[in-house]
Amino acid sequence: MVLLLNISEATAERIIELCKNKNISVNKLASISGLTQSTVDSIINGKSKNPQLKTILKICYGVEIPLYEFFKSPVFQNIDFDI
């Protein structure tokens, strides 16, 4: 059985994955990305249903990956497009 995530859930999973891979906290991610902790927390906790691409780009800069690498994760392979 394949679990379908919506885009905001997949984005949250990817951010958590990046934090684990870089061995950093969400708070540290926010700091190095130039974002507030509440912004990153709202994405991870599902309060932000449609995070801006600009915000995701800042996260990418913070963890030093290109934007396409963010979406290259398997979590984006099975997206539920029922919006």
Q: Over the stretch 47-77, which tens digit does the pLDDT of each residue have?
A: 998 899 999 999 999 999 999 999 999 999 8
Coil, strand or helix at 79: strand
Task: State the pLDDT at residue 70.
Answer: 97
CA distance 74 to 53: 19
Contacts of 19 (CB under 8 A, 6+ apart): 25, 26, 28, 29
Domains and CATH numbers, the chain: 7-74 (1.10.260.40)
Q: Report yes or no: 44 and 58 within 8 Å, Cβ to Cβ.
A: no
Task: State the pLDDT at residue 68.
Answer: 95
Residue 74 parent element (H or E): none
